[in-house]
Structure 1
Amino acid sequence: MPTMSLQTLSLRTLLFLGLWHSGRRCLASAPELKAQPRNIAVIGAGIGGTAAAHYLRQEFGPGVKIDVFESDTVGGRLATVKIGDHEYETGGSVIHPLNLHMKHFIEKLGIPVRKEVPSRMAIFDGKEFVFEESDWFIINFFRMLWRYGFQFIRMQMWVESVLDKFMRIYQYQQFGYSFTSVERILHAMGSDGFLTLLNQTLEEAMMAEGFSQVFLNDIVTPITRVNYGQSVRINGFVGAVSLAGADSGLWAVDGGNKKVCSGLLYRSKSELIPARVTSIVFKVRPSKSGVSSSFYEVNYVDESGSAHSLYDIVVIATPLHQGKSDIAFSGFSPPIPTHYPGSYHQTVATLVHGKLNVSYLGSTGEASDFTVADVLTTDSKDSVIHSLSSLTPVHIPEGYQRNPGSHSHVWKIFSPHPLTKEHLKSIFLSYDSVSETKWLAYPTYRPLQRKTPPFILHDRLYYLNAIEWAASAMEMSAIAARNVALLAHHRWHEQVGKIDQEDLHTRLRGEL
């Protein structure tokens, strides 16, 4: 990553300190606020749902009851699996150093960052390595310079320029501003530039910036394949997020990233309801005074059978798309669809404890000399996998070191389809454990042909996962959770001045 200017570093430091010290706005200083809601439901206990519970508690205070529904395990797409004596990440695994909400969470929860284990990367075209990282920065620099000129440095600068605009969202949220749509939140961050990225491919965006097709094929495509299982024909915004995921300084949570979810759930003092939500019904009830009141009836199935509860506010933090959810909506005008257009992309994560066949990767050297830990792949008919990585446990034992290729250890393979026994036999000389997880992990990304799903489905019914159609990442879910909590608070108390305000960057620039 290019060195940040002192001005940029100062801005980011102030933003982080502002996030750290900012708390729930004091209701006593706002006597015009009406009574708080009594009951709030959050559907989904992944990073989005648990962050939403945290921020809803922050906004609405200790008096409101918050129920979090989860039909599976807390953590959602942040998950681990045990192999031998250790646990390993199977879902979302890395966090960017500028993801300030995730940083804030672990500081608040007192969870340490996982110890870093050095690793080397290579890019595989299905037959051989087209690039292999050295332990020496200067050697990597000249290899890149020889083959691609200054395009790698220019790519880092381009991503940095996107990140600098992206960082504005923390300032807006620190001051309590919220947005009613994904397009509005992106426009507030990056003006028309982010919306343009959303509506063109990464390939189009980068070629317009002067990057060559060879550089896109050899360097950019392997990054989008390992992060999103897709090519450079994804939209430009998620493409920039993907390239940021190749930055230095990436980190993870000691004990597994899912610990953030369980920690936020506990800290929010929410009640976890292990149940599958089947429908949400809008109910209007008359009162003795003649003024009717409205509620959302959440119907669900748990181990005891069918049940329902009434809520003033509902936040849906699970994708409303085919294969991800079947929540039915009743009593709404206009009607709310059970599924929105678009589909989620399948990525299969296969964890194998075995001895790698280094010749599969085109290596002719001794396996004991093979120390590459992360293999990315080009978009080639000869590549049946998207990536191959030597995994470290979610908790790094004292004195832990990566084994060379001649030893058995745990590898994670991302592929578009389940691996056959023939595939495994070609990749490994021997193996004794295989764990396969099929993820519908993120949307199938294309430049948008339509608007993203709305954050507001109904008066007090919100949809957090709309943000994923711009980009899917832990921090994107946390940003959406903060936005939805602010939106729910402001709309409940009719504080329209905090919603969809234009030109916030200019207006707030002098307030930091």
Structure 2
Amino acid sequence: MSVRNLSVRALLFLGIFQVGRRGLASAPELKEQPKKIAVVGGGIGGTAAAYFLRQEFGASVKIDVFEAETIGGRLATEKIGEQEYETGGSVIHPLNLHMKHFVDRIGLSVRTDVPSKMAIFDGKELTFEESDWFIVNFLRMLWRYGFNSLRMHMWVEGILDKFMRIYQYQQFGYSFSSVEQLLHAMGGASFLTLLNQTLEEAMVADGFSQSFINDIVTPITRVNYGQSVRFSAFVGAVSLAGADSGLWAVDGGNKRVCSGLLYHSKAELIQAQVTSVSVKMRPSKSGSVASLYEVNYIGDAGSAHSLYDIVILATPLHQGLSDISFSGFSPPIPSHFPGRYHQTVSTLVLGRVNVSYLGFSQKPSDFVFSDILTQDMKGLVINSLSSLDPVHIPPGYRRPPASESKVWKVFSPEPLKEEQLREIFLSWEGIWEKKWLAYPSYTPPQRRSPPFILHDRLYYLSPIEWAASCMEMSALSARNVVLLAHHRWHGHSAKIDQEDLHTRLRGEL
């Protein structure tokens, strides 16, 4: 399927977004809405959850969002001089419909595009240099790798075509209680297979050459996920989609989406660290006993707690990322689920790059590449090197040449030592380092993902990351979990774990 056809489908789904969320059949009579809902985590997942909660549960419910640090989570910027630069999630795919909807709803703008040019570095020299001319790039790839590049584009488009089904499911109110069931609704058994084989295995089985995988595919996975082609094929496909044309970002920084969603949710921000969640039994108006969740937290004013009907955890429950404990639950809820998150270090350097380090023998002013991807070579300490543009592109902006001092972003698995920085840069005026546990370490076969439902009305948003981690996946998970919470509160079991949408649509027509 062509990109053009997919774009038409995207527009169709965006149209469905505006039609209404209850398009198939009239909903059964609703019981009384919950009074208080807590969301733990103020990143894209948590703020999207607050936004969708307001849509589903209405104006009367009180929504509290707990965040100990700044709103945005792994969407963050760093101020250097008079400008800000992205240090976290930086690009959005043109078919990320939730992110598109958020930006339109909040009233944000797309950042002005600055033309870029890519090269691939093997530790000694640039092995591939992108041209300004499409036909030149195509002929180079054709000469070296045959039709592998075109076939990769078609392979990724085939996966995206199936991926797009989830928007239709969600628009008609369908939700899923596990990552595996959600993925099966998208792509059937083939998506579950992609979870349990490596990207390298999947592409070799589909006839891609090993040289193409090593030379072209690996640099893409290293810049996007800091991991090689020996990680999950599903996240590998998401990574390759991140190399498509038409990628965009939000003017002023992607983190603005989070603050905008929080504002439109009319939720109260509680700047505090949640320490524990426990289940409490309380008498209800009818004389029966109801269960509530007590959220304990520590803020500037000290320790406090509050009771909620529903709690959504939008922060990973993994070692190094969470200190939340759970008490009073049967069966017990673990504080940490198995698995680990992969460290990527983002280092911003305001300085002059050493083009000789990249094997470039001409003058620095002739170095025209803004994005340097790297092959998986022994001794190579960086995953990528990129010339950064500010999050707001002022009128008349031009990207400084490599002969001048400018902001570069280096991705590496470990903090860079001074001697390593001196190899890469001739000089610098400032260095800003950020260590991210940015996404899981994807090692197939994939263990079963944690559940979305931890307890009766206690939900967990982060399991989706074990399929793939990106802004849109978090938004999809937020929508799914909120629909799940709504259906379970009101007893709409017919909208949970059902894959009969297309059958029902045909019956309605």
TM range (shorter): over 0.9
CA drift of 1:4 comes to 3.0
Query: CA offsets, 1:360-396, max 9 Å, x none?
Result: 0000011110010000000001311000000000000
Answer whether contact 1:188 1:505 (CA < 8 A) is retained: no
- 1:117–1:511 distance in 2 versus 1, CA, 3 Å: farther
Q: Which amino acid aligns with 1:444?
A: S
Whole-angstrom CA distance in 2 between matches of 1:234 and 1:285: 47
Aligned to 1:44: 41
* Residues 1:357 and 2:362 aligned together: no
Whole-angstrom CA distance in 1 between matches of 2:285 and 2:458: 26
CA-atom RMSD in angstroms: 1.6
Aligned to 1:110: 107
- 1:510–1:111 distance in 2 versus 1, CA, 3 Å: farther
Q: Which amino acid aligns with 2:106?
A: L
TM-score (ref. length: structure 2): 0.97
Aligned residues: 508
Secondary structure (helix, strand or coil) at the match of 2:3 reads: coil
* Residues 1:253 and 2:286 aligned together: no
Return structure 1 stretches of 4+ with deviation > 2 angstroms.
Answer: 2-6, 8-12, 22-26, 286-290, 502-512
Whole-angstrom CA distance in 2 between matches of 1:31 and 1:150: 54
Q: Which amino acid aligns with 1:17?
A: G
- 1:509–1:134 distance in 2 versus 1, CA, 3 Å: farther
Aligned to 2:419: 422
Answer whether contact 1:176 1:498 (CA < 8 A) is retained: yes
Q: Which amino acid aligns with 1:251?
A: W
CA drift of 1:231 comes to 0.4
Whole-angstrom CA distance in 2 between matches of 1:281 and 1:18: 39
Q: Which amino acid aligns with 1:301?
A: I
- 1:30–1:162 distance in 2 versus 1, CA, 3 Å: closer
Gaps of 5+ in 1: none
Secondary structure (helix, strand or coil) at the match of 2:31 reads: coil
CA drift of 1:446 comes to 1.1
CA drift of 1:18 comes to 1.1
Whole-angstrom CA distance in 2 between matches of 1:467 and 1:116: 30
* Residues 1:431 and 2:428 aligned together: yes
Answer whether contact 1:123 1:132 (CA < 8 A) is retained: yes
CA drift of 1:420 comes to 0.7
Answer whether contact 2:22 2:172 (CA < 8 A) is retained: no
- 1:217–1:31 distance in 2 versus 1, CA, 3 Å: closer
Whole-angstrom CA distance in 2 between matches of 1:509 and 1:169: 18
* Residues 1:196 and 2:193 aligned together: yes
Aligned to 2:124: 127
State which of 11, 15, 18 in structure 1 corresponds to 2:16.
18
Secondary structure (helix, strand or coil) at the match of 1:203 reads: helix
Percent identity reads: 72
State which of 197, 205, 208 in structure 2 corresponds to 1:208.
205
Aligned to 1:332: 329
Aligned to 2:319: 322
Q: How does 1:336-415 map to 2 (within 5 A)?
A: 336-415=333-412
CA drift of 1:31 comes to 6.0
Aligned to 2:216: 219
Secondary structure (helix, strand or coil) at the match of 1:12 reads: helix
CA drift of 1:109 comes to 0.5
- 1:24–1:267 distance in 2 versus 1, CA, 3 Å: farther
CA drift of 1:213 comes to 1.1
- 1:122–1:85 distance in 2 versus 1, CA, 3 Å: same
- 1:289–1:105 distance in 2 versus 1, CA, 3 Å: closer
CA drift of 1:494 comes to 0.3
CA drift of 1:286 comes to 3.1
Secondary structure (helix, strand or coil) at the match of 2:437 reads: strand
Gaps of 5+ in 2: none
- 1:288–1:367 distance in 2 versus 1, CA, 3 Å: closer
Aligned to 1:4: 3
CA drift of 1:502 comes to 2.4
CA drift of 1:510 comes to 7.9
Answer whether contact 1:126 1:380 (CA < 8 A) is retained: yes
Answer whether contact 2:7 2:95 (CA < 8 A) is retained: no
Q: How does 1:27-38 map to 2 (within 5 A)?
A: 30=27, 32-38=29-35
Whole-angstrom CA distance in 1 between matches of 2:442 and 2:391: 29
Whole-angstrom CA distance in 1 between matches of 2:305 and 2:101: 35
Whole-angstrom CA distance in 2 between matches of 1:437 and 1:39: 35
Whole-angstrom CA distance in 2 between matches of 1:48 and 1:472: 11
Q: Which amino acid aligns with 1:469?
A: W
Query: CA offsets, 1:338-360, max 9 Å, x none?
Result: 00000000000000000110000
Answer whether contact 2:195 2:446 (CA < 8 A) is retained: no
Secondary structure (helix, strand or coil) at the match of 1:276 reads: strand
Q: How does 1:240-319 map to 2 (within 5 A)?
A: 240-287=237-284, 289-319=286-316
Answer whether contact 2:174 2:483 (CA < 8 A) is retained: yes
Secondary structure (helix, strand or coil) at the match of 1:285 reads: strand
- 1:376–1:106 distance in 2 versus 1, CA, 3 Å: same
CA drift of 1:17 comes to 1.3
